[in-house]
Every structure is written in C-alpha cells, then in structure tokens.
Amino acid sequence: MANAIRALAMDAVQAANSGHPGAPMGMAEIAVALWGRHLRHNPADTAWADRDRFVLSNGHGSMLLYSLLHLSGYELSMDELRNFRQLHSKTAGHPEAGITPGVETTTGPLGQGLTNAVGMALAEKLLAAEFNRPGHTVVDHRTYVFLGDGCLMEGISHEASALAGAWKLGKLIAFYDDNGISIDGKVAPWFVDDTPKRFEAYGWQVIGPIDGHDVSAVDAAITQAKRSAETPTLIVCKTSIGKGSPNRAGTAKAHGEALGAEEIALTRAAINWHHAPFVIPAEVYAAWDAKAAGAERQAAWEAAFASYKAAHPELAVAFERRMAGTLPENFAQVAVDAAIDAHTKAETMATRKASQVALEAFTAALPELLGGSADLTGSNLTNTKSTPPLRFDAAGAVVKDEQGRGGRHINYGVREFGMAAVMNGIALHGGLIPYGGTFLTFSDYSRNAIRMAALMKQRVIHVFTHDSIGLGEDGPTHQSVEHAASLRLIPNLDVWRPADTAETTVAWTRALLNTSKPTALLLSRQNLPYLPKAGLDEISRGAYVLAEPSEVGLKKKAQAVILASGSEAHLALHAQAELAKLGIAVRVVSVPSTTTFDRQDSAYKSSVLPAGVPRIAVEAGVTDGWWKYGCAAVVGLDTYGESAPAPALFKHFGFTAQNVADTVRKVLGA
C-alpha cells in the first residue's frame, strides 16, 4: 500500500517534469496507518457532515493526497494523475479545494494548512457543544493534519498551535514529518527548535519521536492520540525524505524535482515494485478501497441523525440549514429592517460603531455568526449582546453562560495572520460564518490568508477599523494609506468602505449573502454624519447617486461628478454646496464598494457616471485605484500620514470641502 503511493508520486512528478516526490515517498507509511486504519470518510460523498477532515499542510507533497484519493475510491481517475500539474486537470501543483474531490482546503503557503485545521477542529467542537444532546451525538469527528519543517518554521504555526492548545482541541491530531530536509538542504543549521518541547508548552500532547516508516508504530500513536479529550496531539514521525530511492533518499534532491528515469528504475527495483508507470495491481486497489466502509459509516450516521431529528426536529433542521450554508428565511426581512432603522435614525456615528449596531441585529438572527478580534475588541466593536466570549473549562468543554449560551466571540490575541487562517478553516468546515476584527493597517499581517479565502471562495468577513489618517495621534505606523487600494486588487474579495450607518448595514448584508467570496469592511474610528439620501436600494450596487445639483438649489445638469468613499463622502457633499454658491452644478456619487460597482452592467455604470462629464475622486488614501474611472483629478494621499489629532491631519493633507471644491473648479477651468 505504501509503495503504491511512492510509485504514483514518482511517476506523476516524472511525467510532469515538475513537483515534489520526496514528501509523498517519505510519508507513505504514515498515510497507510491513518487512511487505512483510522480516517472516517466516504469517497462517494465528500460533503458528509460528520466525516473526519484531513489537511495536507505541506501541500507541495500534493501527490501524496492525490494518490490517497485515487486509491481509496474518490472520483479522481488515473488519467488525472497522469495529467498532474497540467492545464485544467484536477491535480494541480498544490491541492485546491473545490477543484479536486476530497480536498478539504487549498494548501501550499506553508503553515496555513495547519491553521485551517485548527479552525476546522474548533468548528467541530463548537457545533458539537451546540447541537449534540444526551443520547444523540451527531457531531463527532476528528481533524488530522500532515505538516513538515517548513510549516513549523512559518510564524503562523506558532499562532495557530498556541490557540489550539488554549482551546483544548482534543480531536485535532497533527503528524510532523520530521525528515530534517528542506529545499536548501539539511535544516539543522537554521532550524534548531526543540519541537516536542515547543508543543508541550502550547498545551499539546506530544507522542514520539516514532519511526514514521513503521505502520504499526504510527497506528499505535494514533490510537493513543484519540484517547485525548482535552489536548490536541502532535505525533513526531522520524522519516527519510524520498524513502525508497537509492541515491536521493534523505537528501534535498528528493524534495522538489523529478527523480529521473534512471533513479526511478533503481527505486522500483529497491522497493520491489515491478509494474509499469501508473499501473496499480488489483490487490493493492482492494487493500486501499474505502468505499464500502465509508458507505457503512455514513449510513450509520444517517440512521443516528434520523433518530436525532425525531427527538429534536428544530435542532436537526437548523443543523442541516447551517451545514448547507443557507441563511434563515427571515434574513431578508432582518436586513431590510436594520437598514431602514439606520436610515430613519440618521445618526452621526463612527462606521465601526455602525458595524456593531448592525451586528446586534444580525448576530441575534444568525446563530451561525462567530465573531472575534485580534486583541482589539474594544476598538473593533465586534462583540454584541448575542455573542458572549468563548471560554473553555479545565476539561476542555465549552463554558456556557447563565442563559445556556456557548461563547460566540473569540479573543484571538495579537495573532492577525492566525485569526485570518483559522477563520478560513471555520468557513471550510461549514456550519458557522466567521468574522474577525483588527486595524486596517494590520491587514498586511493577514493578507495571504485573505488571498487564500478569495481563492477558495469562502464566506469569511474581515472587520478592519481605523481605516485612514482619521485615527489620528497613533501616527503613520497605524494610519492606513495604501491598504484599501491594495485589498481591492485581490480577485474575488469584496471591499466595502461605507460612509454612514445605512451603508454599513448594507455592506454587512452583502457580506453575509456572499456565499462564494470573502469580504473586507473598512470602517472609521471617527464619527461620520449621516448622508441624506433618497433611498437605500442602490447602495448594494457598490456606487450610487447620493446628491444631484437640484438638492443644493441648481436646476441644471451636472458639470462634474465627485466620487467619494467612506469618511470623504460628506466632504463631497460640502464641496457640492460650496460650488453651488458659484453656480457650478455637481453630482455627488457615493462609492462604498468599487469591487461591487465594477461588476454592475454598463447601463447602470453609465447612469451613475455619465459620459462626457468630468470626474473627480476623493479618498484618504493612495490615488492609483481611482484613475480607472476616467477621473480628471483625484484628491488623495500618496504619502504616509503624521501623528496629530484627526481634524488637523485632514486639514493638513487637503481633505477639506474647500480643497475638493477648488479641485473641481480647476478641472472645469472655472
């Protein structure tokens, strides 16, 4: 069984002349022990809610996972393995969720797979606490993750592993492929951590080191790990990278390149594998086949769930809805009511506070919303009356408050990257919609995990507050300048920078409805006035006409259009009024989401931004992203900020109604 993995890995990498054969060959016996003896899964149903989750964090070893999926019976044909790393195949260079049946998460950026696994294990634990009842256990599965030296060298592994220990994720079992080799060679000169002691310090159970090529030893370690209810487990497996290759095993040459025809022939002889490339004997397929066992396990669970549904029908319906990722039937009305309430009250309020007000309504209506903050809860305002803090007792159980509610707001600590990747894992698991907050400037720490959420099309919501120089005295280290423009460059990420309470509520609504993309909400620290508007319907289109010249007493067509987002929208209205005194007619367009507006049809875009009318954009950030709208000028900030009170900074950098009006006049030559 192990040699089948070795053969497929070296054959596929050789055919592609690209890839990483060493990790699959070195971890083959670990895979036999886990997938052959412990993993609860059904190759016929990759969406079975109570399946064990498996993550290959060292995703460069993708042929290990592809071999396992093919051999155990998933819909991944031998032709797909032959087409490894080729255009439009299901066997990409690194595993991709949504592309390959059975792949739970997209991995490759090292350390993030481990962190996704932590999120999955947390989701399992929270759903079990919420839905299981005495005599009816419908959520009861484990999360397994393979990882290597590279994952452990990445700083995110510290963030994730510390959280896993704090959360007492007893159903998380990690396998460390301790082969001592990375791309540059033996890791000892630059990676000298005592990994077992490190994980013990996190509060993990550590087993080993064991011989990672001894299936029985790995099997016994897994059995021991499964007895731990209170702590996650790290199984340290000593292995030889490229195991079986006479000349490449144990060397960096086995890591990231094809073995070559001659070495493959020698390896076949050494491991006694006398079959042509991509040929697997029937008896090996039979040994690996997990279809019958998987169907039996799932059928048993479905019978148990039917009993659960009879005893607890409302809980069962809620569980099915949430695992399907659909919102409650009343969500549309909740969203409309929240937006109308914001519009009616027309309050002056920081949009970070407006976000919390919206969340009060949404977290009350959506039990699947799971919030959090990277040690900035009091600033991000991500907590609500419906989201008590998440805590665990000494035995690892979820602590419930006097009302019997488990925690729904996570204190992630100062771990922005870890938070973002944990949220990806929570979303991938299903049943919960994660959101988490930090300052916008720290989105740089989270960025690759945000990108991964966009790539995987996951509903993850990032609450980024303190969105500009408007945060004031903390100075340029904390003042976001390039971040809005930078986030807007990430494909499949919706970015909203709302200007008032109604826009913020609509932004949250769109984020919750985005089932196939993450959302970033960029929110102000400072109070913003409510913007008078005729209606709310077109906010969701990303940009809309906020004010026509007639609203400041001019009954003529607009001579210019001012586009503005967030805290600068009210400046645009004041500039419009100043220009009206001079007889200059201006339309003001609020642009809370350029990414959403850009997806609208051309007719709508033209109705908002009419052809032949000069456009001037205003945003307290870098100007680059606004020129695509054909702007004649942009009032922006192509430098870093300063440390001073916010009003002084806005005046210093030209974010005043007078400067915006003067810019419009200059464009018009008036």
Bridge partners (DSSP) listed for residue 520: 462, 495
Of 252, 232, 231, the C-alpha closest to 241 is 252
- Parallel, antiparallel, or unpaired for β 53-56 and 143-148? parallel
CB 145 within 8 A of CB 199: no
Q: Residue 252: CB partners within 8 Å, gap ≥ 6?
A: 181, 182, 183, 184, 185, 186
Phi, psi of 654 (to 5 degrees): 85, 15
Please report the beta strands in 417-548, taking only residues with DSSP state E, as ranges in sequence order.
433-439, 461-465, 494-496, 519-522, 527-528, 544-547
Structure tokens at 117: 């696994």
Structure tokens at 108: 């490759």
E strand or H helix at 160: helix 156-166
**What are the respective helix, strand and coil percentages of the chain, to the nearest 5?**
45, 15, 40
The amino acid present at 345, given as its one-letter code, is K
Tell me the Ramachandran region of residue 168: left when phi exceeds 0, alpha when psi lies from -120 to 50, beta otherwise. Answer: left
The C-alpha atoms of residue 640 and residue 642 are separated, in whole angstroms, by 7
Work out the number of other CB atoms within 10 angstroms of the CB of residue 618: 30
Among candidate residues 416, 503, 538, 578, the one labeled active-site is 416
CB 560 within 8 A of CB 586: yes
Q: What is the CA radius of gyration of the chain?
A: 28
**Known catalytic residue: 416?**
yes
E strand or H helix at 128: helix 112-131
User: Residues 244, 37, 116, CA angle at the centre, nearest 5°?
Assistant: 85
Active site residues: 416
